[in-house]
Chain A
């Protein structure tokens, strides 16, 4: 017995902890856990300052493909539509004492359009604080943050045939919840977040990054959050794999 305990202690304190990976997906409609979808402000004749600062009046949490970021021009130098994305992930399967090493939020592109081509739109990940974890309302439009959680992806580099990967920075990693729901969102980064009006291109013209949400049929196009982490027992030695748990049992 004594020999067994010595072996256990040796294994527990000297066995180097290795990185594990957790991939998490939003819950498809009808949501019971973690919603994703698009929110927006839809109103004709708004200045850029008015539409970016609006309270929001539109939400589509149940469509399969929609926009991670979008604006639509109206009459000269006014706008009628601005959209943002919201993505919630149930990350409670992480351990409270696990160490998060890196993380990537990925969205699968479906289409994109650059209005007249005279602007340089980009899209990035931000935090979000929707009123509910399982539904979206218009007011959630104003609940997408403005602090970048990753490096923005340019219009040119945005893929419409595969995943677009946003590697989370330190702030983004710190916003991953180990006990509940992790809440991110997407916005157009060069004009919406900065408040700089884009060049008006013509009434009805849209500029957008279109993606698949969790409602898309199948499992190959869903938004996802990939977390590399080291599993640790609270107050104990670092554990590397499930087999380690078996040893300690």
Chain B
């Protein structure tokens, strides 16, 4: 083994050790209930979720149009009032909290028809041309979960993943 070959091996070892250190540093920020986001070479992606704006149904109960609000957030711990039967106390509560409503330009994987709600926020419109003949909220969630999964920059919350 000549000197050049030895230098190449040493460089590969240094690169591997650097990668290992960065991964360990990223893992150290995880919260116990759910990861803040996916760890990829030290980059932590934020979480994302959706909420219904409105759902329209025809006279047969078939869903014809839906307005959907998309959000970005994280699992954080903040003090909130917690009830204990007849009494309550202020305690740290760890849960998913939304940090911003996502605009159309921030979710490029979701295209085409958006509307402006009151105050101008973007809501995505889906119709039966998108999801076919469905009747229940559960069927609608299954459809929307697939849309949420298409976000390359964020991780869906556990409750909005299709298993």
Residue numbers of A with Cβ under 8 A of B are 18-25, 27-30, 32-34, 60, 62-64, 66, 90, 92-93, 111, 113, 115, 133-134, 180-181, 201, 204-206, 208, 210, 214-215, 217-220, 222, 240-242
Contacts and interface: CB of A to CB of B under 8 A. Distances in A.
A222 B52 contact: yes
A173 B119 CA distance: 24
Interface string B78-117: 0011010111100000011111110000000000000001
| Chain B, interface SS category | strand
A29 B97 CA distance: 8
Given A66-B81, A113-B86, A219 B121 contact: no
B160 A218 contact: yes
B59 A241 contact: yes
A219 B52 contact: yes
B124 interface: no
A122 to B, nearest CB: 18
Nearest to B87: A204
A32 B98 contact: no
A61 B114 CA distance: 26
Nearest to A220: B137
B52 A23 contact: yes
Nearest to B75: A217
Contact of B118 (A90, A218, A242): A90
Given A29-B98, A217-B49, A133 B119 contact: yes
